[in-house]
Amino acid sequence: MSQIVNQVRLDANWSAISAELDAPKASMAERLLGRLRVPGHIARLVVATPALRRAWYLAIGIAVLIGLGSARPDNPASVFVLLAIAPALPVLGVAMAYGRSADPMYEAQVATPMPGLRLVAIRTVTVLVVAILAVGVPALLASTTRSMAFAWLLPALALTSASLALMTWFPPRRATAIVAVIWFVGVVVARRVGPDELAAFGAFGQLGAAMVTAIGVAVIGARRSSFDRMEHAS
């Protein structure tokens, strides 16, 4: 029967099967990302870097803490602290995972056509998604505090986009540090002068966060070329 189909073709197909069987098995997280149609090389990048994994764990841990913390609304001060820290953490976690000192893949990155800014963007999105999922589930369970449990989401997006926008001018760590300082000063001032303790997370705060997010995204879009420049320069 093999005379019907070319033997060379059959051998080639077997080689392909063999190679597939010999290929290193993707980890569970990687396969999950594959299911979600994340391209293979990005999936590997997201799960493989040890420093990044640290950022993941950090983000997940903090997110769960916030979920639990805001589920106890009897102590407004603790809610304030958690809400103030939460939006900054995804960005700080990613900045921590990036750079010469933290990343054993740094040298490899410099040599790859993946630009630094884009890399940070991928990692930030990753951490954000995980953090949102991790905090969202406990928040939904604690139905009485639903509004406060989600109050950090828009600020988190605002800080992330602001950091990425600043990274088109400054090195990643400096950019995130500037944003973090502005954020912390902002929420403390809002607490002092605002009508109540959680003023920064009220309607005006959320509106401001939405505006900052929009501006940040616009700046990133406008300065897209810096992606390419980093791609070739680094």
Site of interaction with another protein (CB under 8 A): 1-2, 4-5, 9-10, 12-14, 16-18, 20-21
The DSSP symbol for 39 reads -
CB of 18 to another protein, least distance (A): 8
DSSP letters along 96-131, please? HT-STTT-TTHHHHHHSSS-HHHHHHHHHHHHHHHH
Q: Cβ closer to another protein: 18 or 75?
A: 18
For residue 50 the two structure tokens come to 């040890």
CB of 37 to another protein, least distance (A): 12
CB of 9 to another protein, least distance (A): 7
Nearest-angstrom CA–CA distance, 111 and 129: 28
Query: Cα–Cα distances in Å, from 80 out to 68, 75, 85, 128, 176?
Result: 13, 9, 9, 20, 21
Cβ distance 214 to 163 under 8 Å? Answer: no
CB of 40 to another protein, least distance (A): 16
Nearest-angstrom CA–CA distance, 58 and 88: 12
Cβ distance 230 to 115 under 8 Å? Answer: yes
Q: Cβ closer to another protein: 15 or 78?
A: 15
Q: Cβ closer to another protein: 10 or 189?
A: 10
Q: Cβ closer to another protein: 15 or 147?
A: 15
Phi-psi region of 38 (alpha: psi -120 to 50; beta: other; left: phi over 0): beta
CB of 25 to another protein, least distance (A): 11
Q: What φ, ψ does residue 194 adopt, rounded to 5°?
A: -75, 165
CB of 46 to another protein, least distance (A): 24
Q: Cβ closer to another protein: 18 or 78?
A: 18
The residue whose two tokens read 């073709």 is: 9
Q: Cβ closer to another protein: 23 or 193?
A: 23
CB of 1 to another protein, least distance (A): 4
